Amino acid sequence: MKLLSRMLAAAFVVAVFAAFGGQTVAQQQVTLRVHQFLPAKAPVPNNFIAPWAKKVEEESKGRIKVELYPSMQLGGTPPQLFDQVKDGVVDIVWTLPGYTAGRFPKTEALELPFISGNAEQTSQAAWEYYEKHLKDEFKDVKIIAVHTHGAGLIHAKGNGVQKLEDMKGLRVRGPSRVVNRLIETLGATPVGMPVPAMPENLSKGVIDGTVVPWEVTAPLRVSELVNTHTGFSGNRSLYVAAFIFAMNKAKYDSLPADLKKVIDNNSGLATSKWVGQVMDAGDAPGLAAAQKRNNKIVTLDAKETQRWKDAAKPVIAAWIAEMKGKGIDGEALVKDVEAFVAKYAGAPK
């Protein structure tokens, strides 16, 4: 009888472990695959995504494992990244909403001309703007960070751009619908393409120049393919592109509460600021590479910069009118972006 009781007790312990203990272990061991479009040594993958992954692994005490897949190693193209994370093909992506033209209209306000500061400033503003206005646009994913790069410059072959009139006749690569409209308004011909395609198209003469921040010019060796780099006076950028670092919603929802907290603790305003800081710091190597090659680096003075600001105003007006047609108060969105940026960058000057 005692032997039977012991056997029954042992069987009960095994059954409880199988029903609960084993399930708990299975739930708490999570692998997250992060997919993105740049080489692993580019500033954001190397100095934000990899440290973020390590931080999450450490804070989860190893129960979350993060696998990094740079340069589209899991297949597809950069414009497909958002759907990859939405559909659960991958767990986390870093991408530009602007790669899918018109899909995220309210996000475009962040990319309007001469509205943004540097990356650290604008990334914090971008998170606040997301909190107020963009949760519906990104309801299908768990947003970890919203950010921008630093000041966008014009990188061109030959004599490049030293005044507004120099844009005429140039074929210039742009990252998104709003920026392409800006390029066209300023007199050039916009050519839309993801950033990894840029070096080949510069090399083959498909484009005469490109708009990107300094940060991306170093890993893609842009300074070897152009001769001039044109920036602007003041504390507002010609343009910036908006980025998201986003997680599959079902994957996030499947996590136990303590692991959700790890992800939540590594999301939000501070995380967005962190990526912005990485973007700003990444500008220095790009500038240094251009200087080493003795490329011409142009900073347009305040008077010439104002000419560009005036020329760009129709882009903002057209966007506001387009949003009105969609039932969106674009004017209010622009005012909010301006206010959020001013909070971190100060008044425009």
Q: For the chain, which residues make up each domain, given as ranges? A: 30-150+241-281, 153-239+292-345
Q: pTM for this one?
A: 0.89
Q: Quick one: which H or E segment has residue 191?
A: strand 189-192
Question: pLDDT confidence of 228, banded at 50, 70, 90?
Answer: very high
- Angle of helix 257-265 relative to helix 50-59, nearest 10 degrees, comes to 140
Specify burial of residue 83 (Cβ count, 10 A radius: 0-12, 13-18, 19+): middle
Question: pLDDT confidence of 247, banded at 50, 70, 90?
Answer: very high
| Record: fold of 153-239+292-345 | D-Maltodextrin-Binding Protein; domain 2 (3.40.190)
Q: Is the pLDDT of residue 9 over 50?
A: no
Task: Give the pLDDT confidence score for residue 39 in this predicted structure.
Answer: 94
Q: What is the CA radius of gyration of the chain?
A: 23
Task: Give the pLDDT confidence score for residue 25 in this predicted structure.
Answer: 44
Q: Is the pLDDT of residue 14 over 60?
A: no
11 Cα distance to chain centroid = 54
Task: Give the pLDDT confidence score for residue 20 in this predicted structure.
Answer: 46
What percent of the chain has pLDDT above 90?
A: 90
Q: Is the pLDDT of residue 311 over 50?
A: yes
Between CA 281 and CA 218 the distance in angstroms is 12
Q: What is the mean pLDDT of residues 82-108?
A: 96
Q: Is the pLDDT of residue 22 over 50?
A: no
Q: Which residue has the tokens 């003795």?
A: 294
Task: Give the pLDDT confidence score for residue 74 in this predicted structure.
Answer: 98
| Record: fold of 30-150+241-281 | D-Maltodextrin-Binding Protein; domain 2 (3.40.190)
